[in-house]
Amino acid sequence: MKEMILLKLGELVLKGLNRHYFEEQLMANARRRLKACGEFKVTTRQSITYVEPKNEDCDMDRAFEAMKKIFGAAGVCRCRACEKDKEAMLAAIQEFLAGDLAAAKTFKVECKRSDKTFPLNSIQLAQYLGGELDDLYPHLTAEMHHPDLTVYVEVRDDHAFVHGNTEPGAGGLPVGMAGRAVSLLSGGIDSPVASWMMAKRGLELDMVHFFSYPYTSEAAKEKVLELARILTPWTGRLVVHVVPFTAIQEELRRSCPEELFTILMRRFMMRISAQVAQRIGAGALVTGESLGQVASQTMEAMRCTGAVTDLPIFRPVVGMDKEEIVRISRKIGAFETSILPYEDCCTVFTPKHPRLKPTLAECVRAEEALDVEGLVKAAVDGIERVFIAAK
Ligand code: ATP
Ligand code: MG
């Protein structure tokens, strides 16, 4: 084994049993994500997860990219294994960190020795390696507090390994640790970002998409499935529950006051999503609503939509400006797909003057004209489940 990957675990405030769940979940997610990159051994000791290739066939570049998207890891780095011999360590540092050593102006060496039989202790080893590097690279100055480059050396039982600065990891909590939720995924900018943010807090997601064929096209559905695919490096594989929504929209247009159309439609979305949640054992809903962004996202409107379910509704972008949401959308690579100009079911029948402050009483009254249960049941029965493999 020449090289491996280290994940430095985040959320260090977690203690006791939680800590154990955190590590187990993170390792399970890492193993699943690594399958496409070869055979790896994944272990955790003292808040570091070690990803070691079992043979030469492993694709380390791909594995490293995958590990940068594992929620729960605060930092990620590649490291080089070498003989447990101080000259070999020095040579490994010079070769493996050549670029970093050339770019840095200040440095320090930090050593950790889990093999207590190694003849030098951590401080002696750091002094030796630091002294040698100082001589070999005249442009480098030792700096203990905020060096440009920290050279890490760990002496383990079977070998030693060296690495440089860690790159930022994906942060958050391992997916699955917080349980399961249903995320309402439209083809827009906000809901993929909201989904990503809640996956980051450890939720395993199932997606629900409301599809209004033929008012919205097959291409619009493909776009949503593509958005789900874009999320899979972080979320893992996904199921998208595609709900036939046309009948409900047509019935609402026929039987309900136009200014309440959007809010009533959104109440149906919540009811159907709650049923999907019950089916799959999920405990919450996620939406990409942002306060005040459109008429259906006022406080009063959210009260009306939330009232149809007792599940918590997570709206992680509720307090964010569009610019902030777009920044995340770009970061996760969803933006270019989100802005493709396909129609969404919400834009198909948009009332000219939607009610900004609907009351629950008027929603309930308007729904008296409808067979709510029957409509929901028909939609749920018509769900098509699309499986999205991890990218
Ligand atoms: P987005 O950018 O996520 O489409 P939006 O600003 O267009 O959001 P709305 O269309 O009012 O806002 O939708 C608010 C939220 O309702 C979305 O973020 C999403 O969670 C959910 N939603 C809207 N349309 C659909 C749909 N067709 N399928 C699934 N969920 C939807
Ligand atoms: Mg939308």
> Tens of pLDDT along 198-216?
999 999 999 999 999 888 8
CA 385 – CA 303 distance, rounded (Å): 29
Map residue 345 onto helix, strand or coil.
helix
Q: What's phi and psi for 36, nearest 5 deg?
A: -75, -10
Predicted confidence (pLDDT) at residue 1 exceeds the cutoff of 60: no
Predicted TM-score (pTM) of this structure: 0.93
Ligand nearest to the CA of 216: 1
For the CA of 245, the closest atom of ligand 1 is 27
Peptide bond into 214 cis (omega under 30): yes
* Residue of 182, 183, 184, 264 best suited for mutating to test ligand 1, as the one with most atoms within 8 Å of CB: 184
In this structure, which amino acid lies at residue 124? Q
Q: Is 293 in the pocket of ligand 1 (CB under 6 A)?
A: yes
What is the helix (H) or strand (E) element at residue 241, kind and residue range?
strand 238-244
Model pLDDT, residue 13: 61
Boundary of a domain, candidates 138, 168, 198: 168
Share of the chain above pLDDT 90, in %: 85
The answer to whether position 192 is within a domain reads yes
Predicted confidence (pLDDT) at residue 293 exceeds the cutoff of 90: no
**Helix, strand, coil percent content, the chain, rounded in steps of 5:** 45, 20, 35
Q: What is the CATH number of the domain that holds 360?
A: 3.40.50.620
Say if residue 248 is in the same domain as residue 361: yes
H helix intervals, 56-213: 60-67, 86-96, 98-103, 122-136, 190-200
Number of domains comprising the chain: 2
107 is in which domain, residue-wise? 3-168
Residue with CA nearest ligand 1 atom 16: 287
Contact 256, 369 (CB under 8 A): yes
Predicted confidence (pLDDT) at residue 86 exceeds the cutoff of 90: yes
- How many A from CA of 38 to the centre of ligand 1? 38
Which one-letter DSSP state was computed for residue 158? S
Model pLDDT, residue 194: 98
Say if residue 262 is in the same domain as residue 318: yes
Average predicted confidence (pLDDT) for the chain: 93
Say if residue 15 is in the same domain as residue 109: yes
> Tens of pLDDT along 300-344?
999 999 999 999 999 999 999 999 999 999 999 999 999 998 776
Q: Is 344 in the pocket of ligand 1 (CB under 6 A)?
A: yes
CA 211 – CA 214 distance, rounded (Å): 9
Q: What is the CATH number of the domain that holds 115?
A: 3.30.2130.30
> Tens of pLDDT along 105-129?
999 999 999 888 999 999 999 999 9
CA 194 – CA 189 distance, rounded (Å): 9
Model pLDDT, residue 345: 61
Predicted confidence (pLDDT) at residue 295 exceeds the cutoff of 80: no
